[in-house]
């Protein structure tokens, strides 16, 4: 599917899709409500968020040491650790693993990092059949679409659309009953699990001390992907390592509550290396691929480093007004919403310098982030970096800020001086009361006025405000004034 190249054009397409708007609104309300209830019932919720911030910061501060320890622990368990500097290297490693195992079929658990490196096309190009086994990932694989939410990749589709897709692609009788749709997917995928030679997953966490990886899910498909095939390969960003089980417990206390509103996910698996003699199940061989792909660069930047605390819970997406209108595909990245805005330009070769300028600055994301990432602060830092350097983040995709530096300086000068501001406003009321001329001259303003009609400037705002404020007073139920 070819999609327009900028956030503005992709989001314009999404905003014009009435069905998508309804799906996104329903999903946002559902997830917001679940998270709210979960934290209302969690007495230590705020302290738990502080703890996650501290645990992750402490792990990031000693990342090289923890990664070396993780490598030695996994190796001691009989697994193999691979280091991938970028997406191409990670894909090449996984293709090698598949070919050495003479694998022809791979089943995958949901993993954003494998979306980041575009693993499926790489494995398919090497001749493998690849099947997503998370229900939502399976749906979008059948539809030939990328994910549109970090934890709910098919959030943009409703039951009717899924029923039509299954009828078309799987030859199933049309139904939109969730239980029936799940049964159809389960019947098809069970045959894939039994045939697969290779299971590929991500990892929510890895424990340096024991070499254990932690996988969180609700459907049981990850357990199947890690135990049914002969070979299991887990791919994880290097920031996912924590020292020990106590650190993992701190993260798990907030992860599911933030993501789905559950106290714990239905399945939390701790996997330690390949199957040992005498054990009844598990893959015979285990590989852990540690991916950098820009994370070291993020780690080195004191302003951006905190984004590596992210647990990929998706909570910030569910409260973001821009995500609710534009949907995940507008980001043009597997990572969307506020965290997608922050990390998309920093991972891989770097693209999406326009994303930071789409933020409204409402701050709702920071209020829900379980790792207490100051997402609005990071987005402002990205805006500043883009304004200061036309080659940020990717010199091959140079661009300017929406407002030219000269115009920005002029605005700061006028806005910083009450006398100048009053004089400019008085002049505008006489010469350009509907801002039509200003919109034509200033591209930044034109983008804003394209979908909004500025009020005619008849009276200074300071004089009009008391009357406006009266109209805005909160209404009591029944319409009475308080
Ligand atoms: S930034 Fe915070 S809220 Fe957003 S996905 Fe990451 S952990 Fe969740």
Domain assignment of residue 298, yes or no: no
Domain assignment of residue 302, yes or no: no
Domain co-membership, 325 together with 375: yes
Atom 8 (ligand 1) nearest CA: 313
pLDDT of residue 395: 87
- Rounded to the nearest angstrom, the distance between the alpha carbon of 261 and the centre of ligand 1 is 14
CATH number of the domain that 252 lies in?
3.40.50.10420
Over residues 80-105, the pLDDT tens digits come to 999 999 999 999 999 999 999 999 99
Domain co-membership, 198 together with 271: yes
Q: Which of 354, 370, 401 is the last residue of a domain?
A: 401
Show the tokens assigned to 80.
Answer: 């193999």
Domain co-membership, 249 together with 394: no
Q: Is 311 in the pocket of ligand 1 (CB under 6 A)?
A: yes
Domain co-membership, 450 together with 339: no
d(CA 379, CA 369): 15
Domain co-membership, 322 together with 268: no
Q: Is 316 in the pocket of ligand 1 (CB under 6 A)?
A: yes
366: burial class by Cβ within 10 Å (0-12, 13-18, 19+)? middle
DSSP 388-412: H-TT-S-GGG----SS-HHHHHHHH
Domain assignment of residue 249, yes or no: yes
Domain count, the chain: 3
- Determine what percent of the chain falls in helix, strand and coil, rounding each to the nearest 5: 55, 10, 35
Domain assignment of residue 193, yes or no: yes
Domain assignment of residue 32, yes or no: yes
Sign (positive/negative) of CA torsion 152, 155, 160, 162?
negative
∠ CA 92-295-249, nearest 5°, is 100
Phi-psi region of 352 (alpha: psi -120 to 50; beta: other; left: phi over 0): left
pTM of the model: 0.90
Domain extent for 441: 405-471
- Which residue(s) pair with 201 in the sheet? 234
Closest CA to 344 of 381, 384, 393: 393
Mutate which of 258, 261, 328 for ligand 1? The one with the most ligand atoms within 8 Å of its CB, which is: 258
Mutate which of 338, 342, 382 for ligand 1? The one with the most ligand atoms within 8 Å of its CB, which is: 338
- Rounded to the nearest angstrom, the distance between the alpha carbon of 200 and the centre of ligand 1 is 24
Low-confidence ranges of the chain (pLDDT < 70): 1-4, 401-402, 443-445, 457, 473-482
Domain assignment of residue 479, yes or no: no
pLDDT of residue 407: 77
Q: Which atom, in ligand 1's list, is nearest to the CA of 365? A: 3
Domain co-membership, 102 together with 202: yes
pLDDT of residue 182: 96
pLDDT of residue 475: 53
- Rounded to the nearest angstrom, the distance between the alpha carbon of 217 and the centre of ligand 1 is 17
d(CA 433, CA 13): 31
d(CA 91, CA 128): 13
Q: Which of 401, 422, 450 is the last residue of a domain?
A: 401
Q: Which atom, in ligand 1's list, is nearest to the CA of 337? A: 4
Show the tokens assigned to 273.
Answer: 């290396």
Domain assignment of residue 307, yes or no: no
Domain co-membership, 190 together with 246: yes
- Which residue(s) pair with 286 in the sheet? 232
Q: Are 212 and 269 within 8 A, CB to CB?
A: no
Mutate which of 32, 56, 369 for ligand 1? The one with the most ligand atoms within 8 Å of its CB, which is: 369
- Range list of β-strands (E), 164-284: 198-201, 205-207, 212-217, 231-237, 241-242, 267-271
Domain assignment of residue 304, yes or no: no
Domain co-membership, 385 together with 351: yes
Q: Is 320 in the pocket of ligand 1 (CB under 6 A)?
A: no
Domain co-membership, 176 together with 323: no
Closest CA to 334 of 71, 103, 149: 149
Q: Which of 258, 278, 293 is the last residue of a domain?
A: 293
- Please name the helix (run of DSSP H) or strand (run of DSSP E) that holds residue 182, with its range, or none: helix 178-195
Domain co-membership, 141 together with 232: yes
Domain co-membership, 288 together with 386: no
Domain co-membership, 139 together with 207: yes
DSSP 437-466: HHHHH-HHHHHHHTS--PPP--S-HHHHHH
């Amino acid at each position: 599917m070819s999609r327009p190249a900028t956030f503005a054009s992709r989001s314009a397409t999404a905003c014009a899709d009435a069905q998508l708007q309804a799906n996104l609104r329903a999903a946002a309300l559902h997830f917001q409500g679940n998270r709210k209830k979960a934290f209302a019932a969690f007495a230590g919720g705020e302290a738990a968020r502080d703890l996650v911030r501290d645990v992750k910061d402490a792990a990031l501060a000693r990342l090289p040491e923890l990664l070396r320890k993780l490598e030695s622990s996994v190796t001691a368990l009989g697994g193999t650790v691979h280091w991938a500097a970028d997406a191409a290297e990670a894909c090449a490693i996984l293709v090698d693993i598949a070919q050495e195992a003479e694998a022809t079929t791979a089943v995958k658990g949901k993993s954003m990092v494998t979306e980041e490196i575009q693993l499926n096309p790489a494995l398919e190009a090497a001749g493998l059949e690849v099947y997503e086994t998370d229900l939502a990932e399976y749906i979008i694989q059948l539809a030939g679409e990328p994910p549109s939410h970090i934890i709910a990749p098919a959030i943009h589709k409703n039951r009717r659309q899924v029923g039509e897709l299954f009828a078309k692609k799987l030859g199933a009788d049309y139904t939109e009953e969730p239980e029936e749709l799940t049964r159809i997917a389960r019947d098809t995928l069970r045959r894939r699990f039994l045939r697969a030679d290779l299971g590929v997953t991500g990892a929510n966490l890895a424990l340096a001390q024991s070499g254990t990886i932690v996988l969180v899910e609700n459907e049981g498909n990850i357990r199947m992907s890690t135990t049914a095939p002969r070979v299991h390969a887990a791919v994880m960003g290097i920031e996912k390592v924590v020292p020990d089980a106590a650190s993992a417990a701190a993260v798990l206390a907030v992860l599911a509550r933030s993501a789905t509103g559950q106290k714990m996910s239905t399945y939390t698996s701790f996997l330690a290396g390949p199957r040992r003699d005498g054990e009844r199940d598990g893959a015979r061989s285990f590989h852990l691929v540690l991916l950098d792909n820009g994370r070291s660069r993020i780690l080195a930047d004191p302003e951006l480093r905190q984004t590596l605390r992210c647990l990929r819970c998706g909570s910030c997406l569910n409260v973001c007004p821009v995500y609710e209108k534009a949907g995940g595909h507008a980001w043009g990245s597997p990572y969307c919403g506020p965290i997608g805005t922050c990390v998309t330009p920093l991972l891989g070769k770097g693209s999406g310098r326009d994303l930071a300028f789409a933020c409204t600055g409402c701050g709702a994301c920071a209020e829900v982030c379980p790792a207490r990432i100051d997402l609005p602060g990071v987005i402002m830092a990205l805006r500043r970096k883009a304004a200061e350097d036309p080659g940020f983040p990717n010199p091959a995709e140079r661009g300017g800020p929406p407002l030219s530096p000269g115009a920005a300086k002029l605005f700061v000068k006028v806005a910083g001086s009450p006398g100048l501001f009053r004089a400019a406003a008085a002049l505008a009321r006489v010469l350009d009361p509907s801002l039509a001329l200003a919109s034509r001259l200033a591209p930044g303003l034109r983008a804003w006025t394209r979908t909004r009609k500025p009020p005619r400037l008849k009276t200074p705002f300071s004089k009009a405000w008391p009357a406006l404020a009266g109209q805005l007073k909160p209404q009591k139920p029944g319409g009475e004034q308080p």
